[in-house]
Amino acid sequence: MSIERTLVIIKPDAVDRRLTGKIIDRFLAKGLDVVAMKMKRLEADTVQKHYEVHKGRDFYGDLLEFMLSGPVILMVLEGKEAVQVVRVLLGPTDAAQASPGTIRGDWGLSTRYNLVHASDSLGSAQKEIDLFFQDSEICDVHEQDRRWILAKKNDEWI
């Protein structure tokens, strides 16, 4: 088990519905640290780079339009197995399939308007963090700040 960083984007639908505080609170309550956060309107070229894996799919144009429709909250979360933990907290992309107690299960309306993007792997997380944040925008969390959440054995977080 390792300390990881992952990218989270609270999408325009969640910002518009004023769910940002509730969503962020779920991550904090789980013991994840916010090591970077900013609110902004994304630029088209950045959104195109971010979603290039979906280029050519029938929903690509609508996805770009949606992500450019309003401000988003960009965050870098850090914690034990952060990538997987965030994905579990979100629930499946399709809100109809998401269990109550997950972010999408509680507030999601559809597959398209699913409130939050999160990195799906460590490799994707690093690539996405680099796309949206400069190193100088990311804060380090001191080990003593984690003493109530994690334990250390042989100099490794467990």
Query: Between 122-132 and 82-90, two packed helices, what is the crossing angle to 10 degrees?
Result: 90
What secondary structure does DSSP assign to 80-146, as a single string?
ETHHHHHHHHH--SSGGGSPBTBHHHHH--SSSS-SEEE-SSHHHHHHHHHHH--GGGPPPPPGGGG
CA distance 55 to 59: 9
Q: Which residues are catalytic?
A: 117
CA distance 90 to 118: 8
CA distance 83 to 128: 12
Question: What are the Cα distances from residue 46, in Å, to 80, 95, 110, 115, 149?
Answer: 28, 26, 24, 19, 35
